[in-house]
Amino acid sequence: MDLALSPADEAFRSEVRRFLDEKLTPDLRDAGKKTGGVLTDPPATAKWHKALYEKGWIAPAWPKEYGGPGWTEMQRYVFSSECASAHAPILANFGTRMCGPVLMRFGTLEQKAFYLPRILSGEDYWCQGYSEPGSGSDLASLQLKAVRDGDHYVLNGTKIWTTHAHFANRMFCLVRTSSAGKRQEGITFLLLETKTPGFSVQPIITLAGDHEVNQCFFDNVRVPVANRVGEEGQGWTIAKYLLEFERGNAYAAALQAKFAAVRHAARIERNDGTALADDPEFKRKLAETDIELQGLMVTEHRVMSQLAQGQNPGPASSLLKARGTEMSQRITELGIEALSFYVAPFEPEARLQGANVAPVVPEHGLVFMPQYLNTRAATIYGGSSEVQRNIMSKLILGF
Ligand SMILES: Cc1cc2nc3c(=O)[nH]c(=O)nc-3n(C[C@H](O)[C@H](O)[C@H](O)COP(=O)(O)OP(=O)(O)OC[C@H]3O[C@@H](n4cnc5c(N)ncnc54)[C@H](O)[C@@H]3O)c2cc1C
């Protein structure tokens, strides 16, 4: 495939840049720049979501009939690279990339009509309730019990590692509606409101000191049967469909922006008058990473063009998940080398919006250490690298 930008794509890039110049205000860029975790926190994301929604650009991969912009694969790539290099806030994609595609495929007409516009407008903020203590890689062992009581299911149990549950007003989750037969056949997919009585959220603070993930508790939480997606017992099929979209993420654009920041840091002169970028061993590491990044980008283009033709990502989503997250760890490790002894100060307050504390760490490397710590989890969440390799082996190699 031809990866050079056509004149039409060049024109599109100029349009995106004009939009970013106008709408990506300094406070939003600052929030994006200071994001040390996977996602930027609200309220910056709410403001950015609104700007993209008003422009019709909030769900780049959605079909036009549901409110997507109708972009080509290359336009989507151009858009995400421009957003990443301009330091746009990183938006949660539980609605646009996960719940939305599931509803389009498995939802009733009423569910589509109610939820899809609210995902686009940002009225609903979703979180994903899949994992439980002891049920992560082995998701089919999940235990959160849902017992039918008239027009409701009554939920008891817990979910863990739920990203941004403390911001979300809705959760899509997998529950156990039957313990008979194969484990997978007793799982059902439900949508619920986090304000439902009996639902509570406890924070889990990460190694980097951030509050991104949570444990959620369910104590007789009543969920209307009308909030079930698909049939009772069809949850496993839906869950797998959703995971293909979760894992088939595009990583290269954001990684290129992070890699550019590392290169910049490595070029800055140190106290002894030399720069790390001149060190032959570091140069070799940069070159290797650059080549791998190009490879990842081309693979992503290939997979995305299959998606654009209406195919599912299939096992390629596992390949992208494993490669993308491992590359993200690699790049942050180079960042740590480039930052040298400035990795030591722990200054979470310096990353707060509007902070008036002068950071010890130079501005260009403020998020290197938090990102390094945060990306340690990247090869675990969304399915660990080992699990992705099992899937690739089974689906591609056949054993
Ligand atoms: C930061 C973060 C955010 C998350 N966000 C969410 C979220 O929003 N919603 C949600 O539902 N979940 C979320 N998760 C949970 C995540 O999906 C699980 O952590 C992940 O699936 C791994 O499960 P586990 O933690 O139970 O580890 P385990 O499954 O216990 O795995 C432990 C180790 O054993 C290895 N292993 C397990 N099984 C196999 C196997 N069959 N073959 C080879 N090796 C294997 C794994 O690779 C891993 O190294 C998040 C996790 C993290 C860390």
- Give pLDDT tens digits for 16-38: 999 999 999 999 999 999 999 99
Which pLDDT value is given to residue 74?
83
DSSP 386: H
Which pLDDT value is given to residue 56?
98
Q: Same domain for 195 and 335? A: no
Ligand 1: atom nearest CA of 138 is 29
Q: Same domain for 302 and 390? A: yes
pLDDT over threshold 80, residue 174: yes
> Is 213 touching ligand 1 by the criterion CB < 6 Å?
yes
In a domain, 263, yes or no: yes
pLDDT over threshold 90, residue 165: yes
In a domain, 266, yes or no: yes
Q: How many domains does the chain have?
A: 3
Q: pLDDT-derived band of residue 389, with 50, 70 and 90 as boundaries?
A: very high
Q: How far is the CA of 13 from the centre of ligand 1 (A)?
A: 37
Please write the tens of the pLDDT for every residue from 182-191: 999 999 999 9
Q: Same domain for 256 and 381? A: yes
In a domain, 242, yes or no: no
Average pLDDT, the chain: 92
In a domain, 202, yes or no: yes
Ligand 1: atom nearest CA of 159 is 11
In a domain, 114, yes or no: no
Q: Which of 182, 210, 235 is the last residue of a domain?
A: 235
The domain that contains 48 carries what CATH number?
Answer: 1.10.540.10
Q: Same domain for 223 and 350? A: no
Q: pLDDT-derived band of residue 358, with 50, 70 and 90 as boundaries?
A: confident
* 361/367 Cα distance (integer angstroms): 9
The domain that contains 325 carries what CATH number?
Answer: 1.20.140.10
Q: Is residue 246 flagged as an active site residue?
A: yes
Q: Same domain for 53 and 152? A: no
* 399/113 Cα distance (integer angstroms): 42
Average confidence (pLDDT) over 149-172: 98
Q: Which of 200, 235, 270 is the last residue of a domain?
A: 235
Q: Same domain for 261 and 392? A: yes
pLDDT over threshold 70, residue 143: yes
Q: Which of 67, 91, 115 is the last residue of a domain?
A: 91
Q: Same domain for 345 and 212? A: no
- Radius of gyration over every alpha carbon of the chain, rounded to an integer in angstroms: 22
pLDDT over threshold 80, residue 306: no
Q: Same domain for 259 and 230? A: no
In a domain, 154, yes or no: yes
DSSP symbols for 275-326: -GGG-HHHHHHHHHHHHHHHHHHHHHHHHHHHHHTT---TTHHHHHHHHHHH
Domain span holding position 337: 248-397
pLDDT over threshold 60, residue 89: yes
- Residue ID of nearest Cα to ligand 1 atom 31: 137
CA-based max dimension of the chain: 75
Please write the tens of the pLDDT for every residue from 231-272: 999 999 999 888 877 666 788 989 999 999 999 999 998 878
Measure Cα distances from 380 to 132, 204, 301, 344, 373 in Å.
Answer: 14, 16, 24, 25, 13
In a domain, 102, yes or no: no
Please write the tens of the pLDDT for every residue from 92-137: 999 999 999 999 999 999 999 999 999 999 999 999 999 999 999 9
Which pLDDT value is given to residue 221?
98
Considering only residues 348 and 56, tell me which one the structure prediction assigns the higher pLDDT: 56
Name the catalytic one among 232, 246, 300, 326.
246
Q: Same domain for 266 and 391? A: yes
Q: How far is the CA of 246 from the centre of ligand 1 (A)?
A: 14
First to last CA, the chain: 31
Q: Same domain for 257 and 181? A: no
Which pLDDT value is given to residue 248?
63
In a domain, 64, yes or no: yes
Which pLDDT value is given to residue 345?
85
